Structure 1
């Protein structure tokens, strides 16, 4: 029986803290925009909430890492829903950059979840 503890490379912790910070900034900005429609502010709140999840993963990746599947679904969903408007030039300025960030974090989440050992 192998009782060796699971070790997670330190850079993964920093990666998840970066994802949390990213979501805090993007979600917080959306939530704080009093001029935005309530649906947009709700999205900001949900993005902020996912930031809390990523902070938990950063604190203990071995324990909380599996919840990243929800983050993958959420980030891919946002990219899938908003990318057509970005391509058509109908999205708000900067949306393409936000989607690029979401796509990069999604790739990192996949890399973490599919890693060996």
Structure 2
């Protein structure tokens, strides 16, 4: 286990924010009335990633490699949904979620690419 003091508190809060974001969006996807089984499964997977981000928030250096799955997942979602989320009459909720996913992806990449420097 790593020493939690090796990573700034800001990073731990960032990963906790990512966890909360995914847990809330995933939960909403699972319990929305009329959601299809496919939508509920997607919600469950989004929720599960929230659990991973929570673990990262507790010990960022130890669990950092799991963030690569988050980078792939979030970038993939943005790539797949952006064409319909950012059109003139697109769904503003989808667009807002995609913007959040883009920002978290960038943050994950910054952390992953700089973590060796942070580990000292």
TM-score, scaled to structure 1: 0.90
For 1:83, the equivalent position in structure 2 comes to: 82
For 1:71, the equivalent position in structure 2 comes to: 70
Measure, in 1, the Cα distance between the counterparts of 2:66 and 2:11.
Answer: 15
For 2:8, the equivalent position in structure 1 comes to: 9
Measure, in 1, the Cα distance between the counterparts of 2:29 and 2:96.
Answer: 15
Matches within 5 A, 1:1-117: 7-88=6-87, 92-115=91-114, 116-117=117-118
From the two aligned structures, give the one with the greater helix fraction: 2
Measure, in 1, the Cα distance between the counterparts of 2:41 and 2:83.
Answer: 21
Per-residue Cα deviation, 1:49-90 (whole angstroms, up to 9, x for no partner)? 000000000001010011000000000000001001113457
User: May I ask how many residue pairs the two structures share in their alignment?
Assistant: 113
Query: RMSD of aligned C-alpha atoms?
Result: 1.5
Q: Cα gap change, 1:91/1:37 in structure 2, threshold over 3 Å: closer, same or farther?
A: farther
Unaligned 5+ segments in structure 2 are none
SS at match of 1:114: helix
**Structure 1 contact 16–54 (Cα < 8 Å) conserved:** yes
Unaligned 5+ segments in structure 1 are none
Q: Cα gap change, 1:44/1:17 in structure 2, threshold over 3 Å: closer, same or farther?
A: same
TM-score, scaled to structure 2: 0.88
Runs of 4+, deviation exceeding 6 Å: none
Q: Cα gap change, 1:41/1:89 in structure 2, threshold over 3 Å: closer, same or farther?
A: farther
Measure, in 2, the Cα distance between the counterparts of 1:12 and 1:29.
Answer: 26
The 10-residue stretch of structure 1 (33-42 or 97-106) with the greater mean CA deviation from structure 2 = 33-42
Measure, in 1, the Cα distance between the counterparts of 2:93 and 2:67.
Answer: 25
